[in-house]
Every structure is written in C-alpha cells, then in structure tokens.
Structure 1
Amino acid sequence: MELTRGKLGIQVSISGGDDEIGRLAQIFNYASQQLLAYDGETRRLYQNLENGMLETMVLIANVIDSKDSFTHGHSQRVGDWASEIGRELGLPEMDVRHLLYGGLLHDIGKVGVIEPILGKRSALTDEEMDAMRAHPAIGASIIASVGFLKPVLPAVRHHHERWDGAGYPDRIAGEKVPLVARVVAVADTWDALTSHRPYQNAMPTEQALSLIEGLREKAFDPKVVDALASIVRRKRSRGDRLSVADPASPIG
C-alpha cells in the first residue's frame, strides 16, 4: 500500500512483510530529524511540522487498525479519550498532547502480530496469547530511537500493566506504571468495551462504566477511573451516545 500524507513530504510503502516495522520506524526518524532541525524559524513552520507529524501518526494508527476490521478507528478514539481524561485530571497541555500521541500509537506493536490472531473470534490459545502479549514490547522497540516520542514510549510499552501488578510485560504496579500508560489503559479498555469486537458485543455506556469502576485499585488507577466517569456522566447528561450499544437519539 503506497501512502503519502502530511506536510513532511513522507512517502512510504507499508505492507505485511518483514520490513514493515523498519519502515514505520523510518517515518518517525525522518519526522524527528525535521523537528530537531527547527531552530529560530517561525512558530508557524514549527506548527506545520507538528501538524504533519500528527497526520502521519493518525495514518499509521489507521494502518494498524486496518489489520483487524473490528478495530477500525480504535487508536484514534483511544487518543481522543486519553487526551480528554488528561484534561479532566488537570494535566499541562503538553502532557495532554503526549496522551493523544500515546493513544494513537499504543497498538503500533501489532504490526508484529499475524492477522489471524488479531481477528480470531474464539479464545486465543496459550501460544497465540503469548504472541499477542508481545505487542507492547514490539511497539516500544519501534519508537525507541525517536527522540521526541520518548514521553510516549511508556504508553506503548505499559498500557497493559495493571494497578495491582498483574499486567504485562513488566508486571509493575501502582504509580510505578507511568501516568501516560495508566490513562491510555483506561481509554483503551473503555473503547474496547463500547465497540463491537470478535469475541464480544459492545456494552451500553452504563454497563461499561460500571465494569471499569469495579476495577478501581485492581486493574486501574482510581483517579483515572474517576476522571473517565466524570467525563462520561457529563456527556450522557447532554444526551451524547457513547457506545454503539446505546439507543440512537431520536431525530427531530
């Protein structure tokens, strides 16, 4: 697939071959060099470069999501929810931006997981589960050499860690899990619960939120869960439809 996107003039072929991870890394390395080369130019130029990088990240997220028809748009939604949670927590805007990037790129390591596993409708075997659980470390290795993505790397590597230490790949617990990863973990789970997946139908908003709240201090950071709950309840009070399982709003 030939891809051209953004103001960085990047053109790269992305396919399912062994070079896929390397090509993705080259995209980030090139854009990183462009940003690092900026010194004393206008703010407008810097903003154009940054916007181009964001467009490229969205493009790569879409490529990753396209490997599984059930996750179309998932990474973009995780980025959006993660950044909303960050604002609800009162984080600085730069940290909020890192949450957006972390959400967009959290599953980039799935380029190293074969498509039959990603789209499997039944329970994974132990061997398949091991392959799936490798994706955070694969993703971290992809972006490790990209300097300006250093604040995002923990979201990629640690978004499957748990508050109680029972997650993966490093089995770290509590606040040892970087905040960016704790936020992306909640956003990732929220979108998974409220979207159709091969192994389960989407849950209505209230059911999904209740499940996540039940995992406070087990899987998730309590303050991150509380921030999500505040956002969800505020949106629901406006009549927003947050899950594909929610009844559609009446027209007119």
Structure 2
Amino acid sequence: MFKKSTALCILAVATAAIFAACQKQTPQKTSAPSNTASRSAASAVSSSTSSAAASSSASSFPAPESDPLYVKAYGYYAADRYDDAISVCNQALAANPNCFWAYNVKGIATYFANGNSAAASCLNLIDKSTTIDPDYSYGYFNKALIQKGLKDWNDSLANFNKVLALKPGDTWSYYGIATVYADTDQTDQALQYLKLAIDTDPSGVKAQVQDDMNRHFSRLKDDPRFQALVGS
C-alpha cells in the first residue's frame, strides 16, 4: 500500500474556501496498519510517507492553507504525531461541529495510531466528513485506505473510484487500485492501473513502487510487462 503521501485532500470565491478546507497534499499513507499495529507498526506498514510520494505534484490534493487548524492537524498527521493531530481536530470540532475535514483527519489519524481494531469507528468518523460534504474526495480516499487494510477489496475499489470521479486522473487513487489488484492476484488489472499512475507521475510512482515491492508487487517483479513499466 502506499503511504500517507499523496492521497489526500481534494479534489469562484466561496468554492475556493471550501476547496481549501477540504484539501491536502497528495496522499502519502497508502497502506494500512495491521490489526495489532501500534503507532510504530502503522508507520512501518505505511509506505505513503516516502519522500518520493510526498514530492509528487501530479494530481495532488491541495492543502487548505486558509485554515490554520487544518494545516496544523495535517502537519502532525504527516509527521506521524497522531495524538497531536487528533487533539487539533477536536479543537476544530469544538469550534464547528460541521468541520468536515476534522472528522476525516481525526479518523485517518486514529486508524494509523491503532490499526484495524479501530477501523469501524474511524470509518464512522470519515463518513461524517463525506456526509457533510459529499464532494470531499480526500474522505473517500481515506475510506479506501482503511478498507484496503481490512481487505474489503470491493469497498476499497469503490471509494478509490469515487475519488477518480471527483478528481479525474488522480495519481494515488490509480496507484491504490493497482495495489488492490496486485494484492488479489489480478495481474492484468494491476498493470493497467499502475500504468495510469505512472503516466501521471513517472518518478514519484516508480519510487513508490520500489518502496512497496515486497509489500505489493513481489509476484509481479519478474513479469516483463511490470519490468518495462517500472524500468527494472
């Protein structure tokens, strides 16, 4: 799975304000912690914090710089300081119970802190964000990450595709779909979506693939089509 890197906030003055409050930089945590994962385990499992994914600019979710609390919360989350991120989200929700981004960041931070044992409550939190703003693609992205960690493959694919419907061409949703197919031994589909991801961000995705080689792509590494895609 990929890291907490890109995949995140999403995808006219009034729209700009909402857009900013919903968004975040490209999803970086693209993998999910295991059932017994602690904060350190979750960090290890997540490949999304890699510098390659973090440096990607293609199809990223812009950070809501207009909201200082979001910037602070996401900064803590990106640094794996999950308790601090959750605390800032709680501040935002105390000030505004309809602060949709706070439900989302709180949900994904709680998940990476606690793993699959907390998945149901984390999904409920993120559901609140997309109920308040049904066009908040970063919420669907994080649902897909959690569902991937749970091996709820169909639901994960559905939510990655919701991101793509809202933000066509999103690199890290293509990549997430590729990893789902790779994890379920659907090689042709994995290669199809991996190519789509690479086409949008060649260097970032190829670097992420190297990070995720053993996690997702070990069964593909000897396939000539895979080697041609990633340049190995």
- State the TM-score bracket (shorter-chain normalisation): 0.3 to 0.5
Larger radius of gyration: 1
TM, length-normalised to structure 2: 0.34
Give 1 or 2: higher helix fraction.
Answer: 2
